[in-house]
Structure formats: C-alpha cells, structure tokens
Structure 1
C-alpha cells in the first residue's frame, strides 16, 4: 500500500457550524405528530450531488406516498455533519427525516470529535439503494483509461490535483484509495459540496475527481468531462461500455455509494413503519424505478432492522479503510 497522510480540518469552525445548526429556530420545534404534517427531508449534501439527484427524482412520488407535502432541503457542511445534526435534534415524530449516504458512518472515524453519535442518535429506517461512483478527468488531461492516467501521475508526482466534495467524504476516500492502489500521488483540493467541485472540474481548475455517475452523466455525454472508470466491482446498466477500474488493472479497488433514510432517535415503531412504507412505496413505483434505471441507481429498500445492522457493519468497514489510507485529523 502506498503510504499517505490526509489532514482534515476540524475544531472551532466545525463546532461553530454545528452549534449554529443545533440552535437554529425551528429545529426540534416542529409540530407534534408526523402524519398530516409537511415532511422535511434533509439532505446533508449540496445540490448537484448524486443523492440530491435521487431525492429530486423521487420527490413527487414521496409526496404521493405520504399523502402530504415533502420539502427537500439541502443542508451541507462539515462532511454531512451539519445536516445530520439537524435531523438528530428534531422531534422524533416523522416530520423531519434525513437522506444520508456513506459519509454518515465515515465521519466518526475521520473527525476527532462528533456532536452526536452517528449510530445511537438516529433511527435507521431503510437503506434504499446504491449508485455507482466514477473517476473522471477534465478533457485537457491526456488520459483515456486507468493505465494512461497512472502513467501521467507517475511521470509528474504531485503535478496533478484531485477534487473532492469535502474532507473525509466517501468521494475523497474513493480517490485516495485509487491513488493508494496505483501507487501514485496527487494533491487534494476539497470543496464544500459536489456542485462547486464539479464546476471547477469542468473549468479545469482541478484535473480529476470521483463523482456519482448520475450526477456526472450529462457532462460525460456533453464531453465536458471524461470517464476513466467505474469505482464499483461491476459495470452499470446505465453505462455498459464504461469499464470498471478493477478490470483495468486494479482488481482490489471497489467503492460504491449507498443512500438511506433515517430519523431522530426515539421514533415510535408505528411512525418508523409509516415512514418506511412510504419510502418503499415511492422508490419502487414504476416512474421512480425508471428514473433510477436511467441514472444507474439500484433500488432495493430494506427493513429498519437490516438498516441498523448495515450501519454498524459499514462503520466498522470504513474505520478500517480510513486507517488503511492513514487519514488524520488536523
């Protein structure tokens, strides 16, 4: 393994951000009783990300399944901690929910302190599915596959930059794991979300990065970004001609993005069932399944019990990956 050290910013800035969210008016003060009230679905990521695209596509079906308005709200910051903190602090009545991804269980391993327990302070409701990640480069980079990109990086150590949606995110870890597997280096440029990251990738301010396939597909089609390879262990039906990184010479490389719905700790079983059934119904509706198929997203809603077990196992798995990549908190 190529040794690496990643320095992550934390401390006063993170504490101040999270404290502001926890103290914000309205958080935790929503009307009692989830049924019949507007549902606030918090996405702890920026607009333009893969999970954002999934939520927006499923929004109308969610409103229909709940029989009430569903308000989707992006609340990015601190690698997803800011948005998750808002969910944790809310009333456990089903009126405030979160759509989280890998970052939720990664954060405890990369931040020195957390304002909440990522496992104990939530109610897991359902792991809804997964979406492929893809390594992309700006078209000015003269590499069309893994072999050519690795050759470039070896020829100019630290001569290239890679973007991420934030320090310690699965997007950064996926890129770092690629560099480790290939035995090469690149400078990390963190952004506050996928949207700003994509803007600079397209503009050529940074040369490469890992992005969810559904978020980057229009740019691949337009030629404003070039795909090097999928990060998972299988090709995607949405891009069948795009090979995986594993099949291009790095067989141990395998990272995929998943997404799940959670609520605050202490939700009553009846409310958990109501929310679970609404999300399962919406995400398996014909129109949402068709939209997800086009995005390359696999939908397979699980039970609350399965979600709880999955969160614990993923937290353990990513803790080992963080240690392997030598992630350190500054």
Structure 2
C-alpha cells in the first residue's frame, strides 16, 4: 500500500502536528519524541485505542508520543520496523494477537515474535463481533447466516485485514465450527476491508468493536453475533456466537506494548508505568469503556509468558482449521 511508508516531509509534519497538539510543558520535559509504531491501518481497533490514549501517554512520559501507522502484510511490515529499531527507549510498538499468530500461518517470518521483542505490557483486550452487509446478507442472526452459507457454499465471501491475521482466523474458526464455508477475501488492513464491506463488494467479516461500532449504529453494517465468551456491555442485546449454536466459539482481541529486543529494564518499567497511568486517566477510561475495551496492564514478565501461551493456542487453532502456511 502507498501508506506503508511516510515521506520525510510527512514524518516531519507528523512530529510538528503532534507537538502543537500538546501543552508546552509536555514538549519541554523530554529531549526527544517517542515513536509509537502501529502495524495496522488508521481506523483499526488498535489504532482507535492507541490514539484515544496517546495524549495521556505523552503526559505520563513527559515526552511527545508520535503515532506511526505502518500496515501491510498482516502486520509484518510494522512489526519489522519495531524489531529493527534501536533499543534506546525512543521507539515502542502496540501489537495485537497477530503478533503470536505469524509462526503458524507463514512459512517464513522476518523476525522471531518472542526473541526479537521486549514485552512491556498486555495493555488490555477488545471484543470482536461478526458483522454483515445488510444488502447482500439478509440473515439477522448467526443461525440464519449458517443456513445461507450451507445452502449456497460458493456464493458468499468474507473479508479480513490480511491473510493469517486474527480477523482471518476468527472467521475461519466460525465457518469450521459451524460446518459451513465461504470464500476468503484478504485486504491490506482494516480500512479497505471496511470500505468494501460497507460497499457490498464482500459480504461479512469479524471486526473489533471500536473499529465498527459507528457503522453498526448507523445501519451501514449489521451485527450478527458477539465473538467473545460473554455478551458485550455496550451491546447487551447481541447474543454471542456460542449462544447462537456455534458451541465453544470464543475469540477476542488483545493489544500489547512491546519494544525492540534489548530494551533496558529501566525503559521497560518506565513505559509500563506510563501506560498504566495513561490508561487509568479518567478521560481515557471513559473512552475505553465506550469502546467496550477491558484494561488489564499486565506486568512485563507475565506478558512474556502470555505471548508464549497465546502462540501455542493459535497454533492449535490453525491446525484444527486445516489452514496451510503461505
């Protein structure tokens, strides 16, 4: 995508805009900005979450935080930029489930998701929901969607933010467990995926609540089911997929802060404490609740263990679904 890389002029403009958006006191406390790399497109769930807390994080660190979106290749482009950064405390990233899915869905990944990063914190989790274009999918719930997919297996398509991403696996888990089928259309990020879902070029997909809530409320997309183990607080009338007959189905997203390998313990603790302070900011807490996110602020050592357990979990999911690495 053209948005993969910023020109020098765009990057300098980003620094200037971020600095102007913050009080002078914040700029004066730090001698350099912090680059926060997101391996996702603008408008995705992790992007929405991060931008909601970026100003509070700047205040907590005493340094300007510049959000740098680098989507593409299911997140590999942005994550590669994180792992290649100097471990000097000036660059961190916010990753999602995709980070631990890579080894199971790609034959070759240009980094080790465990060895090449420094875990800082699993900051929180975000709910997923299965949504459909109301003009191309007449189903109003999951049993009706399953019936439509089984009746005409070659007719319907589903979108994802890229091959092997968690949004791809979330639908694969659904169709596999429902005994149905649909054709996968991968996109290069959530933004183009959403555009084609709303336009009817593709029929359904799984998206995070923060990224799709407005489209569901406006009627541009129809929510058919919550993907988590329990219903979403902000949409209590939307049953889970498990409640609607897809037994045992459960898939939520999480987002975690990481740095490049070799980041000092001092910097790890500094970032962890700043993230905890930022996400406990009253305004940020209101925003996170409105988006339906759950904030946990997991400590660094627990985050490292969680990454390893999640990697094993998704390896089993990929195997069960019969997906072949690409």
Q: Same fold (TM over 0.5)?
A: yes
The whole-number CA distance in structure 2 between the counterparts of 1:147 and 1:39 is 47
Query: Does 2:74 match 1:41?
Result: no
> Unmatched 5+ residue regions in structure 1?
1-17, 27-33
Does the 8 Å contact 1:35/1:94 carry over to 2?
no
Q: Secondary structure at the match of 1:323?
A: helix
Query: Does 2:254 match 1:258?
Result: yes
2:25 is matched with none
1:240 is displaced (CA, Å) by: 1.2
1:76 is matched with 71
2:87 to 92, 99, 104: 92
1:225 is matched with 221
Does the 8 Å contact 2:177/2:246 carry over to 1?
yes
Q: Secondary structure at the match of 1:267?
A: coil
Given the superposition, is the C-alpha separation of residues 172 and 118 from structure 1 closer, same or farther in structure 2, using an over 3 Å criterion? same
Query: Does 2:242 match 1:239?
Result: no
1:35 is displaced (CA, Å) by: 6.0
1:102 is displaced (CA, Å) by: 0.2
Q: Secondary structure at the match of 1:246?
A: coil
2:120 is matched with 125
Q: Secondary structure at the match of 2:225?
A: strand
1:110 to 95, 99, 105: 105
2:276 is matched with 280
The whole-number CA distance in structure 2 between the counterparts of 1:151 and 1:302 is 41
Query: Does 2:312 match 1:316?
Result: yes
| TM-score normalised according to structure 1 size | 0.89
2:322 is matched with 326
For the aligned residue pairs, the C-alpha RMSD in angstroms reads 1.7
2:156 is matched with 160
Q: Secondary structure at the match of 2:259?
A: strand
Q: Secondary structure at the match of 2:102?
A: helix
Question: In terms of mean alpha carbon deviation, does 160-169 or 72-81 score higher?
Answer: 72-81
Q: Secondary structure at the match of 2:228?
A: coil
* Per-residue Cα deviation, 1:240-279 (whole angstroms, up to 9, x for no partner): 1111111111121000000000000111111111111111
1:59 is displaced (CA, Å) by: 1.1
2:56 to 51, 54, 61: 61
1:36 is displaced (CA, Å) by: 3.5
Does the 8 Å contact 1:42/1:83 carry over to 2?
yes
* Per-residue Cα deviation, 1:216-242 (whole angstroms, up to 9, x for no partner): 000011000000001111111111111
The size of the alignment, in residue pairs, is 302
Q: Secondary structure at the match of 1:260?
A: strand
1:149 is matched with 145
Poorly superposed stretches of 4+, deviation over 3 Å: none
Does the 8 Å contact 2:104/2:325 carry over to 1?
no
1:110 is displaced (CA, Å) by: 0.9
1:329 is displaced (CA, Å) by: 2.7
Does the 8 Å contact 1:36/1:67 carry over to 2?
no
